[in-house]
Amino acid sequence: MRILMVASEANPFAKTGGLADVASGLSKALAGLGHEVTLALPYYRKTIKPNLAGEPVGKLIIPVGEKRVEAEIRSTTLPGSQVRVLLIDQPSYFDRAGLYLEKGHDYADNAERFSFFSRAVLEAARFLDLQPDIVHANDWQTGLIPALLASEYRLQPWFQKTASVFTIHNMAFQGRFPWWDYKHSGLRWDLFNWRQLEYYGELNMLKAGIAMSEIVNTVSPTYAREICQPEFGYGLDPSLLARGDALCGILNGVDTTEWNPATDAALAQRYTLDTVKEGKAACKAALQREVGLPQKPDSMLLGVVSRLTDQKGLGLIAARAAELFRADIQFICLGAGELKYENWLQELKNQFPNKVASVVGFNEALAHRIEAGIDAFLMPSQFEPCGLNQMYSLAYGSPPIVSNVGGLADSVVDCTPESMGNRTGNGFKFTQYTSEAFLACVWKAVGVFQHDKPTWNRLIKNGMSRDWSWAHSAADYVRIYDSARSRVR
């Protein structure tokens, strides 16, 4: 199959969150299954390293409303794979400090930027004669693509048999813009209606992808069910329900070329299931040293690597910090995001200098060392479409402590006598979203860690021995690609 994957970020080109890991990990896995995969991204000149920028292969003129805007197409490959990468270059849109925002404010012309990008990708596919069987668009930044395909491009011979799949990575980000921004899309005005691209008088790009794609999916089966309810649907639950069996959930995988403790170059010591005890002890000591925590092998070291935003449930940790850090617990948090949480971390560090370490910023290598060096990972998210860090933690032998939502519910199996008996238990989960339930869940984990090493070691083993790679999920994507294609034949 010829697959055109389109995303607004991908590793190692540009990354703000899990979408980047998925865009590259899934593309690689699909190429590994023998499919011809092209991945299209904006060319963020300030972010993408020169050695990854490829070569120009052509220039196109893209209509953006009444303007005509040049797009230079650059071509390269995804490192370590057969995946071709197209970078869409237009400095006035993408030569900026951020991908979507700067200093906490979204770029005012985001609708125009991603309208341009969406059309430019389809024009590039025609120019390069890619003839994709599938265009796989991700999140609101590419939500117009299924609409462009269904209403314009499929009328052309290059795209007659092209089906679209749209993946939702987060309902909280919808790409909502005033109606007058719709003109940048160049789409027919009759599509601007409440069933398709309009949402209470505004343009909604996520809704466009949901309504106009052949198949829509999200990144875990539980989140696929949750978002059909008002509590998680962020206003689009009716649009999702309307898709019926064209909506499904596929759990993300782990890119094991990047996240594997046996080969991870960032670690002080690499390890496998057989050497996890010594390996993790060495990584823990090195991490404590690196972040300035006392080198106590027996203190339970909890960790977080996260965007600092309400979604990730940091409020629960904040609410119970005073009680938590009275116990023999250490905490390391790596994150960047909202100022209120950056300030909170600073205060926490001042309050518990021997127990808490925090690093504000984006640091890929440290993220790996944290996954390896901690004893347990905290991820008490309010909602979590999939979540990758809990799976990285499982693969690195650091049992996750999570809320029972979305992809956390689908990947973490709570430690109970039953789940330890059938060897599926791999972490700790709480269901009621309260700080009491969260704290009780952490105490349970602390209790097992301190007093029941055989169970703790079993949790590590259960987590590490399951296959978290993309193998299963990539095959599931191929199935929904087939089903999308059958809808346009």
Residues of the shown chain interacting with ligand ADP in the complex, contacts defined by CB under 6 A: 17-18, 21, 305-307, 334-336, 362-364, 367, 386-389
Exposure class string for 389-428: b at 16+ Cβ within 10 A, else e: bbbbbbbbbbbbbbbbbbbbbbbbbbbeeebbeeeebbbb
CB of 367 to ligand GLC, least distance (A): 14
What DSSP line would sit under 468-480, residue for residue? -BSHHHHHHHHHH
8-state DSSP, 3 = E
| CB-CB contact of 330 with 297 (8 Å) | no
Question: Within the chain, how many helices (H) and strands (E) appear?
Answer: 18, 20
Picked from ligand GLC, ligand ADP, none, the partner binding residue 305 (CB below 5 to 8 A depending on kind) is ligand ADP
CB of 382 to ligand GLC, least distance (A): 11
Picked from ligand ADP, ligand GLC, none, the partner binding residue 219 (CB below 5 to 8 A depending on kind) is ligand GLC
Picked from ligand GLC, ligand ADP, none, the partner binding residue 336 (CB below 5 to 8 A depending on kind) is ligand ADP
Q: Looking at beta carbons only, is 73 or 388 nearer to ligand ADP? A: 388
Beta-carbon contacts of residue 397 (< 8 Å; ≥ 6 apart): 261, 271, 273, 276, 280, 460, 463, 464
Picked from ligand ADP, ligand GLC, none, the partner binding residue 74 (CB below 5 to 8 A depending on kind) is none
Picked from ligand ADP, ligand GLC, none, the partner binding residue 364 (CB below 5 to 8 A depending on kind) is ligand ADP
CB of 169 to ligand GLC, least distance (A): 3
CB of 384 to ligand GLC, least distance (A): 5
Query: Could you give phi then psi for residue 134, rounded to 5 degrees?
Result: -135, 135
Q: Looking at beta carbons only, is 9 or 123 nearer to ligand GLC? A: 9
Q: Looking at beta carbons only, is 71 or 291 nearer to ligand ADP? A: 291
Tell me the β-bridge partners of 204: 176
3-class DSSP assignment, residue 291? helix
Residue nearest to ligand GLC (CB): 18
Residue ranges of alpha helices (H) inside 243-352 are 276-291, 314-324, 339-351
Residue 339's CB is within 10 A of a number of other CB atoms, namely 10
Q: Looking at beta carbons only, is 42 or 385 nearer to ligand GLC? A: 385
Beta-carbon contacts of residue 316 (< 8 Å; ≥ 6 apart): 380, 435, 438
Find out whether the peptide bond into 50 is cis, omega within 30 degrees of 0. no
3-class DSSP assignment, residue 300? strand
Distance CA 483, CA 489 (A): 10
Picked from ligand GLC, ligand ADP, none, the partner binding residue 35 (CB below 5 to 8 A depending on kind) is none
CB of 181 to ligand GLC, least distance (A): 24
Picked from ligand GLC, ligand ADP, none, the partner binding residue 89 (CB below 5 to 8 A depending on kind) is none
Picked from ligand GLC, ligand ADP, none, the partner binding residue 362 (CB below 5 to 8 A depending on kind) is ligand ADP
Q: Looking at beta carbons only, is 18 or 42 nearer to ligand GLC? A: 18
Q: Looking at beta carbons only, is 223 or 430 nearer to ligand ADP? A: 223
Dihedral of CA atoms 142, 145, 147, 149 in degrees, nearest 10, equals: -170
Distance CA 431, CA 315 (A): 16
Q: Looking at beta carbons only, is 153 or 377 nearer to ligand ADP? A: 377
Q: Looking at beta carbons only, is 93 or 377 nearer to ligand ADP? A: 377
User: Which among 416, 420, 332 is positioned nearest to 376, based on CA atoms?
Assistant: 332
Residue nearest to ligand ADP (CB): 18
CB of 330 to ligand GLC, least distance (A): 26
CB of 303 to ligand ADP, least distance (A): 11
Q: Looking at beta carbons only, is 115 or 382 nearer to ligand ADP? A: 382
Picked from ligand GLC, ligand ADP, none, the partner binding residue 335 (CB below 5 to 8 A depending on kind) is ligand ADP
Query: Could you give phi then psi for residue 183, rounded to 5 degrees?
Result: -60, -30
Q: Distances from the Cα of 319 to the Cαs of 120, 348, 403, 439, in angstroms?
A: 47, 11, 15, 9
Picked from ligand GLC, ligand ADP, none, the partner binding residue 185 (CB below 5 to 8 A depending on kind) is none
Tell me which residues touch ligand GLC (CB under 6 A).
Answer: 17-19, 22, 169-170, 219, 252, 384-388, 407
Q: Looking at beta carbons only, is 52 or 172 nearer to ligand ADP? A: 172
